[in-house]
Structure 1
Amino acid sequence: MTSNSNHKAKGRVSRRTVLQASAGLGVVGLAGCLGDGGETVTVGASSDGSASYGAMNALQRSVSNHAEDAQLNITAPGGDPDSIRAYDAGELDGYTAGNFVFNQALDDGEPFDEEPVDDFAYQALSYLSLHMHWLAVDGSGVESIEEAIDDDDLNIWVGPPGWGLRTLCTSILDDAGLWDDIEDPVDVASEDVAAQIDEDRIDVFFGYGTNFNSLPGWLVEADSREDLYALEMGDDYVEAIESSEAGYAEVEPYGYDQDIDADEIQCWTEDYNTYFASDVDDEVVYEIMEISHEHWEEIQEADDNYMDQSDPADMAQYYHENIPVHPGAADFLEDNDAWDDDWERGD
């Protein structure tokens, strides 16, 4: 087996096909061979410090421990949009992405409106669901996100530039008529949030829990160092969430070591899938799915943000409608009585 340097030379499927078939396809040629005939698959997973990156690295370790045909190489392009762009440029064999950002890429929405992408990979594995909510530092003196934005003395963090979650957050703020009122949002990486709070440079920020289980590492640090409390959302904000492509939920707080002063927190939600190029071998994708199913507890020991994969049906619970499923993933789901005939199998 030889490795090709650019997937666009291998029968690239363009945006026209996406629009005609309501399906995003991609062909990639980076996948390289191991000595025993196995395949190394390079996948972009957001940015270092994100829940997505941590979860995929935990999966990568279990694949290394148990696979015969597959090896994962997880990289951090800088965010979901950058992962999708790197795939489109032929630099990756696959990527992870939240459903909101993936739809933005399909529809040439922000941040793809000025630089659209043409190639899309097949969906394979659902693995992450986030519950995003607003938090304030003790002493901020506000009870809702609307009050926080109306207070010019408070510094607000809406996620680092490049994150798909930032685009989702600002889109909802804009729909709620609030984004233009944040004159100077704090622009720092997630791993710097706790330090910025220490230095009185962040007063209000959004955090998220993962899979009803835990918090990402950067928020664990802020939780351990700062006194925090949850903010409420007004009716217009909730309506903006419900009108967006995000979900809305009210959930009991989880993952925090402190009381964030709320019996329930109001959340906007985002779900994540992995995507693999059509020329990634079917057996490789099948084996990755199988390892995620059989060894999910081991994966959770490495990163407790990883989703419970004991039920094969849950491994496809965040699929997009009308987006082809990688044949290797389809075979796995069929073999485990979890295939839905309404889904489309990729070529």
Structure 2
Amino acid sequence: MKHLMVSVATGALVCGLAGTATFESAKAQDDVTELRWATSSTGSSGHRALTSLSQLLNSKTDQFDITVMPTPGAAASVRGFAGGQFDGYYGADVAFHEIANNGGRYEGFADQDHEQELVQSFWAYTLEVGLGVLAEDTDEIQSWQDLDGKPVFTSPAPWDTRAALERAMRAAGVEHEYVELDTGLAAQSLEDGTIEGMIIYTAGETSPSPWIQEALLSADINALNPNEEEMEMLSDAGIETVEVPNDTFDTDIGADAAVLVPFFYGFHVGTNVSEQGVYDMLVTIEENVGELAESDPSFSQVEADMVEMQLRGIRAAGETVPIHPGLAKFLREHDAWNEDWDGRIASMD
């Protein structure tokens, strides 16, 4: 009888502990923030980078459960986030300026009712855009303006890379004929004459987009660099250029370096994630940035100086969208916050 009582008591204790463990497990699950994070299409730099970032955050913290959501392009991720379809999005300074001006791909966007406010929370890298042509055409096409009036594929219509490149082309006096293509058909379209030029671009000045690299390996494509006059026109328009060395690409691009135009890209959430949540996310990225850059070289700029990358992104975005208070806290912790930005912090109400 005594043995039976001990057994019952022991069983009750085990059940109690199991119940406590189940409760704690359920509580831990309740504390996890599930994020449906939108990015660009599979095969793009954005999709590759967010896949690496989400794997890191999912493995290094128990706060987040991130699902990568491919979309037709960054513009689709921005619109989907604003409409409440996603919990995070892939946004660039060029898009924020279009939105602030209620123009370009976002004409009328500011007049619509949105479920979520666009907020900047993590600047990941620059994308650098330029032009390429068939090597056999370089005697005829030697500068950007030689593509004036000619069919050019500058990326799928919704993509920020297209907006950034076409802005630069307009500044350099190029009025091309835009051709919409599937990215996988770009090299073939160059070879059969459907287009005479196409975008080439890298992420973080270190890594070509996967579909660009595939195109460069499928056809003999050379970088088409702006000439001296076009460089001056870009500079006068306030557009920077960088030189990305030939050996960044897995094939010869016909020049020592590709002259490309950088713009800033980030993976952002809104006030749907708390100040502490975004701060913790940024700290986790900073603490594991070497692993992140090893997974995807696009993050090499963050690895070199994460704080400076955030400052550069904020400056590039200007007053277009608010700054997440978690990002502001992160910069304050590093004595890098600009007090002139105090009025630009998003409200969490």
Contact preservation (8 Å) 1:214, 1:254: no
Contact preservation (8 Å) 1:292, 1:309: no
Residue 168, structure 1, aligned to residue 164, structure 2: yes
Residue 148, structure 1, aligned to residue 143, structure 2: no
Displacement after TM superposition at 1:301 (Å): 3.1
Displacement after TM superposition at 1:177 (Å): 3.7
Distance 1:100 1:236, change over 3 A: farther
Distance 1:264 1:198, change over 3 A: closer
| Count of matched residue positions in the alignment of Structure 1 and Structure 2 | 309
Residue 137, structure 1, aligned to residue 134, structure 2: yes
Equivalent residue for 2:300?
307
Equivalent residue for 2:179?
186
Local SS of the residue matching 2:339: coil
Equivalent residue for 1:318?
313
Deviations 1:273-324 (A, max 9, x none): 2322113122321222122112222223332222343434134131133343
Displacement after TM superposition at 1:216 (Å): 0.9
Equivalent residue for 1:122?
119
Local SS of the residue matching 1:111: helix
Equivalent residue for 1:328?
326
Residue 255, structure 1, aligned to residue 248, structure 2: yes
Q: Report the more deviating stretch, 126-135 or 114-123.
A: 114-123
Q: Aligned AA for 2:153? A: W
Local SS of the residue matching 2:225: coil
Local SS of the residue matching 1:139: helix
Residue 293, structure 1, aligned to residue 286, structure 2: yes
**Higher normalized helix content (fraction of residues):** 2
Displacement after TM superposition at 1:121 (Å): 2.3
Displacement after TM superposition at 1:99 (Å): 0.6
Distance 1:113 1:244 in 2: 22
Displacement after TM superposition at 1:159 (Å): 1.2
Q: Aligned AA for 2:346? A: G
Displacement after TM superposition at 1:257 (Å): 2.2
Distance 1:65 1:192 in 2: 36
Deviations 1:203-228 (A, max 9, x none): 42121122121111011212222222
Pairwise mapping of residues 1-347 of structure 1 onto structure 2 (< 5 A)? 35-116=29-110, 119=114, 120-140=117-137, 141=139, 142-149=141-148, 155-179=151-175, 182-183=176-177, 185-197=178-190, 199-234=192-227, 237-244=230-237, 246-310=239-303, 311-316=305-310, 317-319=312-314, 320-322=317-319, 323-344=321-342, 345-347=345-347
Displacement after TM superposition at 1:118 (Å): 5.4
Contact preservation (8 Å) 1:34, 1:40: no
Structure 2 length as normaliser, TM-score? 0.79
Contact preservation (8 Å) 1:209, 1:254: no
Distance 1:85 1:230 in 2: 33
Q: Aligned AA for 1:318? A: G
Q: Aligned AA for 1:326? A: H
Local SS of the residue matching 2:268: strand
Q: Aligned AA for 2:332? A: E
Which structure 1 residue ranges, 5 or more long, are not aligned?
Answer: 1-32
Deviations 1:34-77 (A, max 9, x none): 71411012222233222122111110001111112122222222
Identity %: 22
Displacement after TM superposition at 1:187 (Å): 1.2
Distance 2:109 2:232 in 1: 30
Contact preservation (8 Å) 1:52, 1:128: no
Which structure 2 residue ranges, 5 or more long, are not aligned?
Answer: 1-26
Distance 1:191 1:235, change over 3 A: same
Distance 2:55 2:194 in 1: 37
Distance 2:127 2:212 in 1: 13
Q: Report the more deviating stretch, 61-70 or 244-253.
A: 244-253
Deviations 1:6-28 (A, max 9, x none): xxxxxxxxxxxxxxxxxxxxxxx
Q: Aligned AA for 2:245? A: E
Local SS of the residue matching 1:271: strand
Q: Aligned AA for 2:268? A: Y
Displacement after TM superposition at 1:158 (Å): 1.4
Distance 2:108 2:260 in 1: 30
Q: Aligned AA for 2:165? A: C
Local SS of the residue matching 2:208: coil
Displacement after TM superposition at 1:199 (Å): 4.9
Distance 2:40 2:230 in 1: 27
Deviations 1:176-201 (A, max 9, x none): 4422xx34x33113233234445554
Contact preservation (8 Å) 1:134, 1:206: yes
Displacement after TM superposition at 1:243 (Å): 4.9
